[in-house]
């Protein structure tokens, strides 16, 4: 518990509290102002009959000394503040709900009216109630404020019973509080709501007796995040503060606020507000939490960082057993920092889509070329608010040709699903910016995938070469719902794609299962203590007539990983090709197929790590790292392809070699 400064009400003060006599309250007003029912808030700049009635009312009490004008200016504000101070209301100069309620509840008829309370001995913190048919002498609109005292029926007038106001403790034992910063609400970094936002909470545990919290001094630092951040009076941003019982949701107090509600402290950045007149009782032995809510002026116009903490060494005032206590709730252990973000400040993130096309081989015909080859797929995610995509920049990291007769990609298109939303020509590796995006909006909280395709013109009829295309998302511009423009350089790059006039269309099917001699006790992998032979099964669906592949057309490596694998001798591999009609041993493979290629790789294991191909005991794999094929294109050109791309999954299962 923080250090407290305790003020003990002495015997004289206690006697005074128990024998409080309500004094006469006299209100004289004109007939017009006396009968006026105030229904709207009034502040500087307001005008009309309501302001005139308010000025006449203030004049009748001696606070407004000039002729009523019907305009709420500085003189009226000062008069309202003076009247509020005399009525025990927050002296802000703002004529809001609390002030309206106080004025509208006063019994006024017409002309000059005097309302007088009758003296009675109702103690502070208690309400005197008359049983029927006795007429009450406690006037309408008047209640006693809490002083935490204990009362008996003998302190009330004859015929009355004495009951405590809601929230006032009747304990005669002096209690104390253990205070901690409530876990909820926690620090927030992106608040976009503006009504009754929980920003700070205090958890209180009562010991020795019931304790009533009556007053809270709250320090609020308001830093505006616009251009160069600066500090302002929190009343520019906050227009209402509530204190709520977290366990029940009961509103303990509500205060309309403006710049006049906050008092500047010891520094220019130090503003605090005093919230009083509420009674939050924590019964002995129980723990309760009160939460402070902020509402802001017409939404969040600019992002702000608010720091909230108790003010000064007497920031919390309590009453228990007739004793006033003050608690220090300042310092970092009682501090919350809340970041309010202007709605529409969209955050956009980019990434490579898991389904982006792998490296593969595409066939380009000489007459029609190839349109719509997928090269890149990326994601765009919007949070906080919708993002309206204005432009996208795609940069070819590769758009080149090798050999003769091939051509670069000539057109890049962006698709949202199957719909083309932008298309533009490309030359070499020059960046392409799409400014003609058609109404591409990424809804807040969603992720959208966009596909980038290319068109490749037809190759020469005497082609011998090929083209390589690789694309990168290098720039994007989007607009938030507030109209603000943002530009980013994501650098999301796809895989390289290869374009030939003929292709073998190789695919990996499966790997054979090695014969198990024993198993590795750690993972059950097959142990080879003699020669190791693995069958790697591929499929080809050539676009034209294809030469039967040989074992020497493939490079096979062995190792515990692809990076450490070493090439096995060609003599250690064998090949069998199966077609639709059985094994094919001579001649060529016709277009289409499909054909199955069984490639068997072997090494002499002997369980000896001294073998030149084995680095020691461990789990080993066979990898196909290169495949050389020859396929005839429609123009009769034999297209030689040495494929080193798209082979990442061309590997066997593991086998264990003991050291």
CB 370 within 8 A of CB 456: yes
Q: Are residues 279 and 316 in the same domain?
A: yes
Residue 389 placed within a domain: yes
Q: What is the pLDDT of residue 513?
A: 55
Q: Are residues 215 and 327 in the same domain?
A: yes
Residue 403 placed within a domain: yes
239: closest CA among 300, 305, 295?
295
Q: Are residues 335 and 358 in the same domain?
A: no
Q: Which residues contact 473 (CB under 8 A, 6 or more apart)?
A: 350, 376, 378, 392, 393, 394, 452, 490, 491, 492, 493
Indicate the DSSP class of residue 47. B
Domain tally for the chain?
4
Instruction: Say which residue, 161 or 226, is predicted with more confidence.
Output: 226
Token pair for 341: 């973000």
For the segment 71-92, what is each residue's pLDDT rounded down to a tens digit?
Answer: 988 889 989 988 888 888 888 8
Which of 311, 340, 369 terminates a domain? The answer is 340
Whether this prediction's pTM lies above 0.85 is answered by: no
Residue 467 placed within a domain: yes
Distances (CA, A) of 244 to 100, 200, 277, 561: 22, 11, 14, 62
SS3 162: strand
416 beta partners: 419, 450
Residue 148 placed within a domain: no
Q: Are residues 585 and 480 in the same domain?
A: no
Neighbour tally for 110: CB within 10 Å? 11
DSSP secondary structure of 298-339: TS-SS-EEEEEEE-STT-EEEEETTEEEEE---SGGG-EEEE
Structural domain including 76 reads 26-104
CB 305 within 8 A of CB 335: no
Q: Are residues 370 and 302 in the same domain?
A: no
Residue 122 placed within a domain: no
The residue-averaged pLDDT of 122-142 equals 42
For the segment 535-546, what is each residue's pLDDT rounded down to a tens digit?
Answer: 888 899 999 999
Distances (CA, A) of 433 to 420, 425, 452: 15, 10, 13
At 614, is the pLDDT very low, low, confident or very high (cuts 50, 70, 90)?
Answer: low
The residue-averaged pLDDT of 261-274 equals 86
Most confident of 3-17, 96-110, 520-534: 96-110
Q: The domain spanning residue 629 has which CATH number?
A: 2.60.40
The answer to which of 21-35, 156-170, 222-236 has the lowest mean pLDDT is 21-35
Q: The domain spanning residue 46 has which CATH number?
A: 1.10.101.10
Q: Are residues 366 and 248 in the same domain?
A: no
Distances (CA, A) of 361 to 194, 375, 474, 645: 56, 11, 25, 9
CB 620 within 8 A of CB 568: no
For residues 658 and 525, give the distance between their C-alpha atoms in angstroms, rounded to a whole number.
11
Q: What is the pLDDT of residue 121?
A: 44
Q: What is the pLDDT of residue 219?
A: 95
Most confident of 102-106, 211-215, 443-447, 529-533: 211-215
Q: What is the pLDDT of residue 207?
A: 92
For residues 230 and 219, give the distance between their C-alpha atoms in angstroms, rounded to a whole number.
17
Which of 73, 104, 135 terminates a domain? The answer is 104
For the segment 294-333, what is each residue's pLDDT rounded down to a tens digit?
Answer: 998 765 667 889 999 999 889 999 998 888 889 999 999 9
Q: Are residues 536 and 597 in the same domain?
A: yes
For the segment 571-613, what is each residue's pLDDT rounded down to a tens digit?
Answer: 677 788 877 777 877 778 888 889 998 888 877 644 443 345 5
Q: Are residues 565 and 471 in the same domain?
A: no
642: closest CA among 625, 659, 657?
625
Q: Are residues 193 and 222 in the same domain?
A: yes
Q: Are residues 495 and 552 in the same domain?
A: no
Q: Are residues 192 and 278 in the same domain?
A: yes
At 183, is the pLDDT very low, low, confident or very high (cuts 50, 70, 90)?
Answer: very high
At 14, is the pLDDT very low, low, confident or very high (cuts 50, 70, 90)?
Answer: very low
Which of 445, 480, 500 terminates a domain? The answer is 500
Residue 147 placed within a domain: no
388 beta partners: 441, 479
Residue 142 placed within a domain: no
Q: Are residues 183 and 243 in the same domain?
A: yes
For residues 412 and 372, give the distance between their C-alpha atoms in angstroms, rounded to a whole number.
9
For residues 623 and 561, give the distance between their C-alpha atoms in angstroms, rounded to a whole number.
9
Residue 154 placed within a domain: no
Neighbour tally for 78: CB within 10 Å? 14
Q: What is the pLDDT of residue 172?
A: 56
Q: What is the pLDDT of residue 178?
A: 94
Which residue has 């029927």 as its token pair?
132
Mean confidence (pLDDT) of the chain: 78
At 157, is the pLDDT very low, low, confident or very high (cuts 50, 70, 90)?
Answer: very low
């Amino acid at each position: 518990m923080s250090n407290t400064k305790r003020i003990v009400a002495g015997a004289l003060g206690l006697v005074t509290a128990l024998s409080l006599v309500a004094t006469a309250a006299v209100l004289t007003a004109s007939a017009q102002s006396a009968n006026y029912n105030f229904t709207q808030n009034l502040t500087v700049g307001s005008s009309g009959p309501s302001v005139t009635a308010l000025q006449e009312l203030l004049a009748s009490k001696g606070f407004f000394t000039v002729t009523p004008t019907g305009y709420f200016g500085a003189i009226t504000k000062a008069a309202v503040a003076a009247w509020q101070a005399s009525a025990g209301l927050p002296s802000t100069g703002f004529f809001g709900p609390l002030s309206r309620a106080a004025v509208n509840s006063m019994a006024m008829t017409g002309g000059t009216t005097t309302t007088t309370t009758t003296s009675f001995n109702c103690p502070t913190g208690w309400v005197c109630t008359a049983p029927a048919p006795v007429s009450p002498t406690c006037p309408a609109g008047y209640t006693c404020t809490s002083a935490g005292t204990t009362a008996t029926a003998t302190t009330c007038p004859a015929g009355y019973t004495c009951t405590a106001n809601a929230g006032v403790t009747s304990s005669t034992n002096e209690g104390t509080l253990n205070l901690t910063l409530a876990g909820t609400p926690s620090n927030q970094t992106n608040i976009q709501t503006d009504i009754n936002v929980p920003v700070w909470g205090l958890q209180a545990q009562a010991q020795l007796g019931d304790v009533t919290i009556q007053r809270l001094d709250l320090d609020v630092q308001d830093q505006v995040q616009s251009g160069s951040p600066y500090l302002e009076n929190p009343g520019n941003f906050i227009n209402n503060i509530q204190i709520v019982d977290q366990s029940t949701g009961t509103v303990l107090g509500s205060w309309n606020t403006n710049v006049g509600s906050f008092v500047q402290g010891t520094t220019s950045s130090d503003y605090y507000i005093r919230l009083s007149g509420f009674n939050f009782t924590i019964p002995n032995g129980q723990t309760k939490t009160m939460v402070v809510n902020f509402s802001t002026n017409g939404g969040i116009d600019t992002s702000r960082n608010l720091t909230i903490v108790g003010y000064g060494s007497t920031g919390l005032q309590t009453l228990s057993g007739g004793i006033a206590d003050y608690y220090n709730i300042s310092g970092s252990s009682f501090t919350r920092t809340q970041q309010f973000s202007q709605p529409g400040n969209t955050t956009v993130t980019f990434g490579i889509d898991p389904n982006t096309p792998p490296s593969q081989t595409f066939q380009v015909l000489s007459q029609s070329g190839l349109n719509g080859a997928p090269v890149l797929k990326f994601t765009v995610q919007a949070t906080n608010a919708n993002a309206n995509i204005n432009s996208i920049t795609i940069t070819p990291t590769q758009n080149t040709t090798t050999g003769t007769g091939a051509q670069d990609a000539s057109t890049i298109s962006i698709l949202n699903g199957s719909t083309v939303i932008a298309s533009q020509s490309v030359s070499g590796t020059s960046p392409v910016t799409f400014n003609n995006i058609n109404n591409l909006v990424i809804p807040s909280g969603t992720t959208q995938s966009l596909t980038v395709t290319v068109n490749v013109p037809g190759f020469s009829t005497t082609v011998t070469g090929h083209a390589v295309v690789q694309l990168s998302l290098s720039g994007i511009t989007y607009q938030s719902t507030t109209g603000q423009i943002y530009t980013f350089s994501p650098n999301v790059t796809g895989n390289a794609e290869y374009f030939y006039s003929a292709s073998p269309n190789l695919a990996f099917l499966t790997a054979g299962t090695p014969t198990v001699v024993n198993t590795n006790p750690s993972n059950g992998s097959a142990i080879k203590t003699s020669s190791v032979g693995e069958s790697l099964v591929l499929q080809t669906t050539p676009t034209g007539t294809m030469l039967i592949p040989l074992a020497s057309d493939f490079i096979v490596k062995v190792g515990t990983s692809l990076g450490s694998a070493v090439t096995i001798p060609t003599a250690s591999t064998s090949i069998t090709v199966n077609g639709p009609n059985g094994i094919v041993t001579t001649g060529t493979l016709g277009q289409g197929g499909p054909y199955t290629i069984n490639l068997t790789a072997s090494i002499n294991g002997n369980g000896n790590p001294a073998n030149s191909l084995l680095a020691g005991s461990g789990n080993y794999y066979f990898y196909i790292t290169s495949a050389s094929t020859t396929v005839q294109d429609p123009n009769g050109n034999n297209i030689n392809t040495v494929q080193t791309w798209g082979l990442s999954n061309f590997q066997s299962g593991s086998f264990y070699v003991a050291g």
